[in-house]
Amino acid sequence: MDNDDFTYIIQELREENDGDTFRIWTYIENKTDKTLEFSWPASQVDGAAADLNQYGTSVAPGKRAYSAELIMKDYDEFFPEDGTIETISFNLLVEEERSSTDLSDDSTPFYEGSFTCSFEK
């Protein structure tokens, strides 16, 4: 996703050397004058519900960030039996970061969209 306000790219799905962990590497660029928070409030791995990046990554105005989301084979019950991942689907939610004292739930998303990424075996 690349627009006038931000760039969000899933760069790579990488299996770690331990053989039990995958990381989803993302690149984020905030082109606005506001701090933005990027999260995946709903996601799926090969069609099964998963809790990936539900807490989000904050990026300051005009800055870039890299993020690595963790998928563990032994911990995550949704992990495919054959040990590979073919698709990850997620809802990308971008919101203006709120102060820790702002407990209201009335914010309007800065951006919201659904995406699916396919990976070769």
Residues 57-70 pLDDT 10s: 899 999 999 988 77
Strand partners for 78: none
Number of domains in the chain: 1
36, 59 contact by CB (below 8 A): yes
Q: How far apart are CA 58 and CA 96, in angstroms?
A: 9
pLDDT digits (tens, 9 = 90+) for 62-109: 999 998 877 766 555 656 666 677 888 888 889 987 766 555 666 678
107, 95 contact by CB (below 8 A): yes
Backbone angles phi, psi at 9, to 5 degrees: -130, 130
CA contacts within 13 A on the Cβ side of 104? 7
Look at residue 1 and tell me if it is in a domain: no
Output the domain CATH number for residue 44: 2.60.40.2550
- Which domain, by its residues, includes 74? 6-118
Task: Give this prediction's pTM.
Answer: 0.78
